[in-house]
Structure 1
């Protein structure tokens, strides 16, 4: 509407007039926030002006081979666990866990559903990355679990951030590098991002080189 348009024009005039007056008075100088904002905008300009190179297949193959950590599926574990709470069992926690382990692996093969204490997470985990296990249970539990052998037997107890656990490690899948041909687009994207970073940093260094930099106190 005409009213909205008039208000927009008024706001624009107000902002432009105040901005010009601030610059006339030198308020834009020695202001860290303004300096950083201008530097940020200039870095965007540098990035926009750069032309992306087109990598060859050999370059991508070399990038994939020399940066395997970027293209590796993490090691995963599939396991079940039974939890024993120190808050509930106190000094009997270790003994109760050991007794349950004997029942689980003994001739009677006691069902695990009737053992242990309630737990805030699930009792079964499938193909979970070790780093995620560490996030949920703590690093000590994840490290000890990853060192166990896959077995039909229950093992432990293993300490976690919550208490003690008996575990049955059902499968362990090691980390593996994804074949190049399966992720060509991902490798190309990663290569381009790195090339842009290098080109942008070189462009910024070229800009810095146009100036004489003097640092007080440094000869």
Structure 2
């Protein structure tokens, strides 16, 4: 029959012969490899459910949960076998992820702590500059152009002091004529670096100038000034709490690292040379 001449038939015969040979020469007394145990406890199930709910906004069905367990089991088996082969060694991505997970454990501890108000009040006092709102200024401005004639500047100031309608004076531009209470950094972003500092100490409702900006010169009057302000703890409780937890997590992480590092002795080429 023709199929006896087919290469595929010959390949199958060779394969069967090879498997038969290994079966005959294998050590029948060799004990079977003891299976490793993979334990999936209630915490693992809860975590799988939580991840599913976070993505799909509902609890998984029984079939979906079983699929999640099967997927987790598959991943666990592959990870264990990869470690046996040493595939995790020398992989910078895996090393970085493991290091971040170790640090995350410390962060999680800090995030779960609920400090007393006295602790947060002390943190607020020790880091007052971090929580103080910046000084703010509100002002009106008249744009005079890139390089106005000094006489024009003087005439405009005289008109303003005489009660002229300030909104009709100056050169038209896209700059806001009136700025509400704004921090210095935001003002400088709009008018150019150093503009806000030229308004420091200005008497409210008095026109001054010319004030230089990134666009030219202006006449300005401050309409309101609000100094920096450190709010009480009650107003910024969540902000202070999160900042305290961040700082605490950093301290705990460093303490944990120093404790772990004490278990190791680090040798470098320089230390090896020094010991010889």
User: Structure 1: which 5+ residue stretches go unaligned?
Assistant: 1-7, 87-91
Residues 160-171 of structure 1 correspond to what in structure 2 (within 5 A)? 160-171=213-224
Native 8 Å contact 1:97 1:166 kept in 2 = no
Name the structure 1 match of 2:106: 46
- String of CA shifts for 1:98-150, please: whole Å, max 9, x gaps: 1453343343625333422312x321111111121122223311111224x22
Q: Rg larger in 1 or in 2?
A: 2
SS across alignment from 1:192: helix
Name the structure 1 match of 2:246: 193
Task: Give, in angstroms, the shift of residue 71 of structure 1.
Answer: 2.7
Structure 1 stretch displaced more, 178-187 or 158-167: 178-187
Structure 1 stretch displaced more, 156-165 or 16-25: 16-25
TM superposition score normalised by structure 2: 0.61
Native 8 Å contact 2:140 2:222 kept in 1 = yes
SS across alignment from 2:150: helix
Name the structure 2 match of 1:128: 182
Name the structure 1 match of 2:22: none
Residues 32-181 of structure 1 correspond to what in structure 2 (within 5 A)? 32-49=92-109, 52=113, 54-55=115-116, 57=118, 59-86=119-146, 92-95=147-150, 98-99=153-154, 101-107=156-162, 109-119=164-174, 121-147=175-201, 149-181=202-234
Native 8 Å contact 2:106 2:249 kept in 1 = no
SS across alignment from 1:176: coil
Distance 1:56 1:24, change over 3 A: same
Native 8 Å contact 1:130 1:146 kept in 2 = no
Task: Give, in angstroms, the shift of residue 79 of structure 1.
Answer: 0.2
CA separation in 1, counterparts of 2:249 and 2:69? Answer: 40
TM superposition score normalised by structure 1: 0.74
Q: Larger relative contact order (C-alpha < 8 A, sep ≥ 6)?
A: 1
How many residues were matched structurally?
A: 209
- String of CA shifts for 1:35-91, please: whole Å, max 9, x gaps: 11221122113333555253352x3332222221133222110101122343xxxxx
SS across alignment from 1:177: coil
CA separation in 2, counterparts of 1:36 and 1:42? Answer: 10
Residues 199-210 of structure 1 correspond to what in structure 2 (within 5 A)? 199-210=252-263
CA separation in 2, counterparts of 1:193 and 1:55? Answer: 16
Distance 1:123 1:145, change over 3 A: same
